[in-house]
Amino acid sequence: MSGYDRAGGTGDPDATGGGDAPVTPLRILVVDDEPAMVGAVSALVGSAGHRVVTAYDGEAALLRFEDETPDLVLLDLAMPGLDGVEVVRRIRAMSRVPIIVLTGEADELAKVEALDAGADDYVTKPFGRQELLARIRAAIRRGEGSAAATGPAALRVGTLTLDTGLFRASVDDRPVPLTRTEFYLLIALVQARGRVVPHARLLAAGWPGEPDPDPQWLKPHIARLRAKLVEARGPAPTSVRGVGYRLAETDEGTE
């Protein structure tokens, strides 16, 4: 059975919003490893006036997210390789964009894991057209309210601030120019809160679209990142030999 119920609807006017309502067109990223499901969901949201961007695995989803900056993500949980929960974590590390998980999982724990990773809502397959559109509208409303209340997403350690919504880094409010890869590496280091981040985790963070990133790529990028942060007098990565790197609030180590 398809996960998309073309007849649609839950029978509950409160759940569906009582039919289609006028909406501002959104750019929506649809991610599923089943092409038929991607096609069905794309047709559904497209019929409501939204623009659709598609991806068929986790790595491609992250690349499309970076390139297209969607307004909302519809994401399958069960995918080979980089699964949906990890995709949620990585998107949430750099953006507050609403994420709705589309899952066929009957296990409640799978849904809880996705929500704990940062998803905003979930819809269990098969689902109705009106239900999905209503949940999209609700997620956008919640996102707008959260942004108004809390401002842009930010990560901080010491004098360093990362604005993950705008991909900007600053030390004492002075901008630090970083490449995209350097920014991703720094997010992973800041989120560790002083703990060591293993080489493999940093490689996955810095090169999310590469299934097997070369370990030799890491050292020169960390060295350039460190040089920029030291020059700005901010916290800088320090090496833990044979293990990985951690972010030191003071200049206490060398490459």
The pLDDT, as a whole number, for residue 13 is 30
Domains defined for the chain, CATH in brackets: 4-150 (3.40.50.2300), 154-248 (1.10.10.10)
What mean pLDDT is reported for the chain?
Answer: 81
In sequence order, what are the residues at sequence separation of 6 or more whose Cβ sits closer than 8 angstroms to the Cβ of residue 70? 26, 27, 28, 29, 53, 64, 97
pTM of the model: 0.56
The pLDDT, as a whole number, for residue 30 is 96
**pLDDT band for position 253 (50/70/90)?**
very low
The pLDDT, as a whole number, for residue 223 is 95
In sequence order, what are the residues at sequence separation of 6 or more whose Cβ sits closer than 8 angstroms to the Cβ of residue 146? 96
Region of poorest pLDDT, from 13-27, 108-122, 150-164: 13-27
The pLDDT, as a whole number, for residue 144 is 62
| Dihedral sign for Cα atoms in the order 7, 24, 77, 68 | positive
**pLDDT band for position 156 (50/70/90)?**
confident
Instruction: Note the pLDDT tens digit of each residue in 45-56.
Output: 999 889 999 999
The pLDDT, as a whole number, for residue 108 is 75
What is the DSSP annotation of 123-171?
Answer: EESSEEHHHHHHHHHHHHHHHHHHHHHH-S-EEEETTEEEETTTTEEEE
**pLDDT band for position 166 (50/70/90)?**
confident
The pLDDT, as a whole number, for residue 3 is 53
Residue type, 199: H
Q: What is the mean pLDDT of residues 169-194?
A: 89
The residues with which 172 forms a beta bridge, in sequence order, are none
φ/ψ (deg, to 5) at 61: -60, -45
Distance (Å, whole) CA 43 – CA 240: 50
